[in-house]
Amino acid sequence: MNDANNLAVATDVTKVFRTGALEVKALRGITLDIHEGDFLALVGPSGSGKTTLLNLLGALDRPTSGELAVLGAPLSEMSKGARAKLRLGSIGFVFQAYNLVPVLTAAENVEFVLELQGVSAKERRARALSVLADLGLEELADRRPNEMSGGQQQRVAVARAVAARPKLVLADEPTANLDTENAEQLMGLMRRLHDEHGATFVFCTHDPRVIAHATRVVTLEDGQVVSDEEKSPGDPSS
């Protein structure tokens, strides 16, 4: 892949967390390209640096050293406000804990990012209802999170992430709270959104059900990339 096809480029990236005299090296010289169209699983044992790397790719944090450009923007040169603008305009997030706003309905949760983007009320309602319908959730549009199952809340979270039409979708353990049926349904839906809308997906996961759907598997250990392999969907081996 050439640079034009890379949504994120990490070169010798390190991330060090310091608390008093304690120093934790979460990432130790990561060099990795995220290609446009990837359906990528970041895997590795707990403490390997997966979530730290995902947070950097999402412009939620900046590296301690090294270079990381996301959607052409070098994070080390960006202010907090500029990183927030990048996230709002181009990056979608799916969190393990859903992070839905409890007082808002499913449709209002999906509309939330669109409202922040300045999309008109009519347009954002139409887009929210369209995405909910794509995910089989049209009947839940007026329900609040406490009136939904865990699987339904996670699908609403996916709808919120993709309604803004981001170039990059980052998902942190998206199937961790789901049974097998809901996990398979969710991954199938995200794969369809990838295929039909062209969004690039990066999953941080331990779940073989997620890995089975990935077309690329990057393995981290002790804050370093130890393997980076292309695979066919449906093949759980990495």
For residue 40, pLDDT over 50 is answered with yes
Number of structural domains, the chain? 1
Phi, psi of 27 (to 5 degrees): -125, 135
**Burial, 51: exposed, middle or buried (Cβ in 10 Å; 0-12, 13-18, 19+)?**
middle
Q: Is residue 104 part of a domain?
A: yes
| 110 lies in some domain | yes
End-to-end CA distance of the chain: 20
**Residue 191 — pLDDT band, cuts 50, 70, 90?**
confident
Whether 215 is covered by a domain: the verdict is: yes
Domain that holds residue 202: 3-230
For the chain, the maximum distance between any two Cα atoms, rounded to a whole number of angstroms, is 53
**Residue 33 has which token pair?**
């390209």
How far from 141 is each of 48, 155, 164, 223, CA to CA, in Å? 38, 12, 17, 41
**55-103, pLDDT tens digit by residue?**
999 999 999 999 999 999 899 889 999 999 999 989 999 887 788 999 9
Question: Hey, is 119 helix, strand or coil?
Answer: coil
Instruction: Say yes or no to pLDDT of 1 above 60.
Output: no
* Structure confidence at residue 232 as a pLDDT band (50, 70, 90): confident
Residue 235 lies in a domain: no
Q: Is residue 50 part of a domain?
A: yes
pLDDT number for residue 83: 92
CATH of the domain at 142: 3.40.50.300
Is residue 78 situated within a structural domain? yes
**Tens digits of residue pLDDT in 115-165:** 999 999 999 999 999 989 888 888 999 999 999 988 889 889 988 988 888
What was the pLDDT predicted at 189?
80
